[in-house]
Amino acid sequence: MRLVLEKRGERSHRMALLSPLIAIALTLITGGIIFALKGLNPFAALYVYFVEPLTTSWSIEQLFIKATPLALIGAGLGVSYLANVWNIGAEGQLTAGAILGSAIPVFFPEMQTLLTLLLMLGLGVIGGMVFAAIPAFLKNRFSANEILTSLMLVYVVQLILDWLVRGPWRDPKGYNFPKTISFSGWQTLPSFEVLPPSMGPLYVNLGAVLAVLVVVALAFMMGRTLKGFELRVQGVAPRAGRFAGFSREKTVWFCFLLSGGLAGLAGICEVMSTVGQLQPGISPGYGFTAIIVAFLGRLNPVGALVAAFALAISYLGGESAQVALGISDKTARVFQGILLFYILACDSLILYRLRITGLGGKVAEGRA
Amino acid sequence: MNELLSIVLTIITAATPLLLASIGELVVERSGVLNLGVEGMMAVGAVCGFGAALMTGSPLVGVLAAIAAGVILSMLFGFLTLTMVSNQVATGLALTLLGLGLAGMIGEGFVGQPGVKLEKISIPGLTGIPFIGPVLFGQDLLVYVSLIIVAATSYVLFRTKTGLIIRAVGDSHQSAHALGYSVIGVRYLCVMFGGACSGLAGGYLSLVYTPQWVENMTAGRGWIALALVVFASWLPWRLAIGAYLFGTITILGFSLQAVGIGIPSQLLSSLPYVVTILALVVISGNRALTRANTPACLGQPFVPDR
């Protein structure tokens, strides 16, 4: 008996919609088994992990905070991956954006106008773009593998951050802690009240608003413009793309600058809200988790927004499980990894049909 | 002389895990599969090796556990990419993310525990020779194992029928299939070999390099190993040279830190990553060199017609 894949006549639209849901269900089942093996009641544990984060207004606020960078980065990476450009250094571009944007409060701590906010956000985007430009340039000029170069730069930029906050950018009044001065006023993101106190209250910051705007813009670009068509063609049929005269080099530049800029924006938003200063460890691996977001969201901007919430729940669940169940918050990362595995496996079923054959199932081999 | 000796010895320990991980990946890629999960397999290999050695007190059991862990993870990758024909790049990334997460979870209880070290061998009469003795005859077992694997891989790939089949599968899976070879079967075995080597490389880190468990102790070595395969243009002996070159650069960085010249330590720590990028640029820019050896079917899925 063995498993055999059989090519479907056409893409299964039903599987395309179902695949992420099946993947999530399988992840929950696997999670339950892991909890049971650890001697916990799987249902209670799964409740703490995946439902409790949705029950209080405080945790829903946290959900928005965690989903914001994931959606920003995941949407950009999805566009990239769809066009077969593999930027996996978003974590580094996030850090680069955070660094460059933080230059404003570090060098001009007294500057407190709307311009401060705009400059910081702008420099954040540019920082991410600059670091994403390196692998793009090396890919186009020297055909150096962009997966490896973009990933190597993550380590480099994290070391730069470490050097800055321990050295030249360290807060002189910070008791030698490796951090810059704390940001305040226009150096932080404003918050908006979404729900009145009677119903929540629920605040979201400017980052979440920007994330939604970015997703809408990208969805429009991918669905309604020639650029989106060009990117999709290059992903599905690179040869056809070449014949159509689409420039591969330009696509590499475009994808890296777009996804890098968005990662940079996510980075500066993090230090301008949750973190409140520049310090080592500004992100719990958002740049890597966003890879999962991109795939769970079917490499589609709107999908990424939905997927960002799913992954944000796993981050929050990890934290609450640590408190309530005494299990490591590292289980969250395991769940995230398992989820990606299941998505990729289920995605095969969009193009293929699974057949279980007996040993006699090998017919007419060598017909190729 | 003594300082030079200690530098040479640390270079060897720094190079060995890179060599182990990359020689496995070289075989995987020769068969046409790109497994980006090396970092994840190394991390799980490191934590399982450490744990098994800690529980049994035997570093050799640790080594075996590290290998087993790598093989199991690689089979997961194989099932997805070979049986389920999933995207190899994405699946490799998934393996790395899962592996790093798993390693962190398994290793939680091991943080801060003193490890079991795999001792260096000592051959009476030979190890005592000044300089040459400790370098050639006084290494730990895995250093020799890594070099034997390189020699064996080079021989098998280019001098035997098995190697011809592996390369045929990697260069033209359609032809290999038409000739009656099981493309998927060959790839499964190569992927598992790669897993074993990556696991072993991870075990080397937690049993020899720094006998303890620290989260993220692989520190990107799995990715550097992947770059080394490109750097070596898929040739085993060039890979060995590359790994030792890399070990040298890493150790030079550390030595400069110790001397305390006015360069920030972070800059020196970033040296291996920067050098990796430069190496990729130099090699990839040379089309003639890479095109001749790059497996033509690298990363392409294969579904047999039936």
Task: Assess if residue B132 is contained within a domain.
Answer: no
Whole-angstrom Cα distance, residue A76 to residue A261? 9
pLDDT score recorded for residue A1: 60
Among the residue ranges A152-166, A248-262, B60-74, B286-300, the one predicted with the least confidence is B286-300
pLDDT score recorded for residue B123: 80
- Report which of B65, B166, B151 is spatially closest to residue B106, judged by C-alpha positions: B65
| pLDDT tens digits, A278-320 | 999 899 899 999 999 999 998 999 999 999 999 999 888 888 8
Task: Assess if residue B48 is contained within a domain.
Answer: yes
pLDDT score recorded for residue B306: 56
SS3 (DSSP) at A117: helix
| pLDDT tens digits, B180-190 | 999 999 999 99
Residues from chain B contacting residue A344 (CB–CB below 8 Å): 80, 84, 86-87, 90-91, 94
List chain A domain ranges.
2-355
- Give the helix ranges, DSSP H, for B119-182: 132, 141-159, 161-171, 173-178
User: A114 — contact with chain B (CB < 8 Å)?
Assistant: no
Task: Assess if residue B306 is contained within a domain.
Answer: no
pLDDT score recorded for residue A359: 53
Phi, psi values for residue A61, rounded to 5°: -60, -45
Domain extent, residue B88, equals 2-116+137-293
What is the overall mean pLDDT for chain B?
90
| pLDDT tens digits, A176-191 | 889 999 998 899 998 8
Q: Name the pLDDT band for A366 (thresholds 50, 70, 90).
A: very low
- Report which of A31, A29, A34, A30 is spatially closest to residue A49, judged by C-alpha positions: A31
User: Global pTM?
Assistant: 0.91
- Which residue is closest to B97 within chain A, CA to CA? A337
Point out which residues pair with A67 in neighbouring strands.
none
Can you tell me the mean pLDDT for B226-242?
Answer: 93
- Do B76 and A341 count as a contact with CB atoms less than 8 A apart? yes
Q: How many angstroms separate the Cα of A295 from the Cα of each of A63, B9, B42, B223?
A: 20, 44, 24, 22
**Does the pLDDT of residue A163 top 60, yes or no?**
yes
Can you tell me the mean pLDDT for A38-56?
Answer: 85
Q: Name the pLDDT band for B6 (thresholds 50, 70, 90).
A: confident
**Does the pLDDT of residue A361 top 70, yes or no?**
no
- Report which of A75, A135, A43 is spatially closest to residue A309, judged by C-alpha positions: A75
User: A319 — contact with chain B (CB < 8 Å)?
Assistant: no
SS3 (DSSP) at A192: strand
Can you tell me the mean pLDDT for A340-364?
Answer: 75
pLDDT score recorded for residue A5: 78
Question: What is the dihedral sign for C-alpha A336, A342, A347, A348?
Answer: positive
- Do B303 and A352 count as a contact with CB atoms less than 8 A apart? yes
- Do B90 and A152 count as a contact with CB atoms less than 8 A apart? no
Whole-angstrom Cα distance, residue B19 to residue B139? 15
Q: DSSP label at A203?
A: E
User: What ipTM was assigned to the predicted interfaces of this complex?
Assistant: 0.89
SS3 (DSSP) at A205: strand
User: Which residues 20-79 on chain B approach chain A with CB closer than 8 angstroms?
Assistant: 36, 76
Dihedral (C-alpha) A114, A119, A124, A126: value to the nearest 10 degrees? 150
Q: Architecture of domain A2-355 in CATH?
A: Orthogonal Bundle (1.10)
CATH of the domain at B210: 1.10.3470
Which range has the top average pLDDT, A318-322, B127-131, B144-148? B144-148
Where do we find the tokens 């793309």? A241
pLDDT score recorded for residue A368: 35
- Do B178 and A366 count as a contact with CB atoms less than 8 A apart? yes
- Do B180 and A147 count as a contact with CB atoms less than 8 A apart? no
Of B86, B89, B264, the CB nearest to A147: B89
Q: In which element (H, E) is residue A4 found?
A: strand A2-7
Q: In this complex, how many residue pairs, one in chain A and one in chain B, have their CB atoms less than 8 Å apart?
A: 157
Task: Assess if residue B28 is contained within a domain.
Answer: yes
pLDDT score recorded for residue B268: 83
CB B306 within 8 A of CB A355: no
Beta-carbon contacts of residue B206 (< 8 Å; ≥ 6 apart)? B46, B47, B49, B50, B62, B66, B115, B212, B213, B217
- Output the furthest CA–CA distance in chain A (Å, rounded): 78
pLDDT score recorded for residue B261: 67
Task: Assess if residue B69 is contained within a domain.
Answer: yes
CB B199 within 8 A of CB B108: no
Dihedral (C-alpha) B233, B235, B237, B239: value to the nearest 10 degrees? 40
β-strand pairing of A202-205 with A191-195: antiparallel
Among the residue ranges A39-48, B159-168, B254-263, the one predicted with the least confidence is B254-263
**Does the pLDDT of residue A125 top 60, yes or no?**
yes
Task: Assess if residue B92 is contained within a domain.
Answer: yes
Structure tokens at B8: 């040479």
**What's the domain count of chain B?**
1
User: A367 — contact with chain B (CB < 8 Å)?
Assistant: yes
CB A249 within 8 A of CB A183: no
How many residues are given for chain B?
A: 306
Q: In which element (H, E) is residue A69 found?
A: helix A57-82
CB A345 within 8 A of CB A22: no
| pLDDT tens digits, A72-84 | 999 999 999 999 9
User: Which residues 155-184 on chain A approach chain B with CB closer than 8 angstroms?
Assistant: 155-156, 159-160, 162-163, 167
Whole-angstrom Cα distance, residue A239 to residue A248? 10
Whole-angstrom Cα distance, residue B113 to residue B54? 9
Whole-angstrom Cα distance, residue A87 to residue A153? 11
Can you tell me the mean pLDDT for A46-50?
Answer: 86
Residues from chain A contacting residue B76 (CB–CB below 8 Å): 341
- Report which of A89, A170, A171 is spatially closest to residue A131, judged by C-alpha positions: A89
